Amino acid sequence: MSPAADPSAAEDRAVEAARGGDVAAFNQLVQQYQGIVYNVALRTLGNGEDAADVAQDTFISAFRAIREFRGGSVKAWLLRITVNASYDLLRRRKRRPASSLDALAEAEDGELGVVDRTRGPDAAALGAETARVIQQALATLPDEQRTLVVLCDVQGLSYEEAAATAQVALGTVKSRLSRARARLRDYLAERGELPGGLRRPS
């Protein structure tokens, strides 16, 4: 394989150039990852405006801190910044009375603009009503569980990538993900969004 055809080699070169202050090279990384960064923030925060702010902050912080990037997965590094910035925003939001964590649920019909159906693990996207209920369900999860379910199930990251992003052990990914899925299952089954009878017997 020639170096030009290897995406990870191209990524390494972009990181190296960005370290030297090359904004254009860094923007190749922005181009590549802005979709997943925005969508992780969107599912974490439930609000398109906040997600766009967090995504922009993510890339500004990343460019400033690129010298501290120690190699490894650029995606996990960027998403780690995204998740931390989202947590910061959630904490600030908790101090304010009004919560907009499920604003996305109301806006799921397309107010957020184009729904990009070509991305994501499963191209056959859900109907707006189901997507709305799922976003509401995500909003009920504890932050650390929501993060892992967003990374692994919504964005299709491997356990290893999710562990690197959330900076937790693989075992923690496994247990938080299973608890998040179980909670979502109960929430969705109560609202008739799961195929009949799919609830853990009590």
Partner 1 sequence: MGPPVPESRTWVNPPKHLSTEWLSAYLDGVISPQEGDVPPAAEAHLQNCPRCADDLAGLDAVRTLLRRLPQHAPPRSFALQDIPEPRQVGIFRLPRMVAWTRAASAVAAAVFVLCLSLDLLGVGDDVAAPSAVQNRIAAPTVAPASVKAAAPAVAPGPQAATAVIFPPSVAAGDRDRGGLESAGSAETKIGTLSATPANPVADVIPTYRPLRLASIVAGILALLFLSAALFSGRRAAT
Contacting residues toward partner 1, per CB under 8 A: 21, 23, 26-27, 30-31, 34-35, 37-39, 42-43, 48, 52, 55-56, 58-60, 63-64, 108, 112-117, 119-122, 124-126, 130-131, 134-135, 149, 152-154, 156, 159, 169-172, 174-175, 177-179, 181-182, 184-185, 188-189, 193-195, 197-201
| Nearest residue (CB) to partner 1, 68 versus 122 | 122
122: Cβ–Cβ under 8 A, 6 or more apart, which residues? none
Q: How far is the CB of 59 from partner 1 (least distance, A)?
A: 5
In a 3-state reduction of DSSP, which class is residue 111? Answer: coil
DSSP state of 67: G
Q: How far is the CB of 6 from partner 1 (least distance, A)?
A: 23
**CA dist., res. 29 & res. 79, Å (int):** 12
Q: Write the CA distances from 67 to 72, 81, 95, integer angstroms.
A: 13, 14, 34
| Nearest residue (CB) to partner 1, 58 versus 165 | 58
Q: How far is the CB of 72 from partner 1 (least distance, A)?
A: 19
What's the burial of 45, exposed, middle or buried (CB within 10 Å: 0-12/13-18/19+)? buried
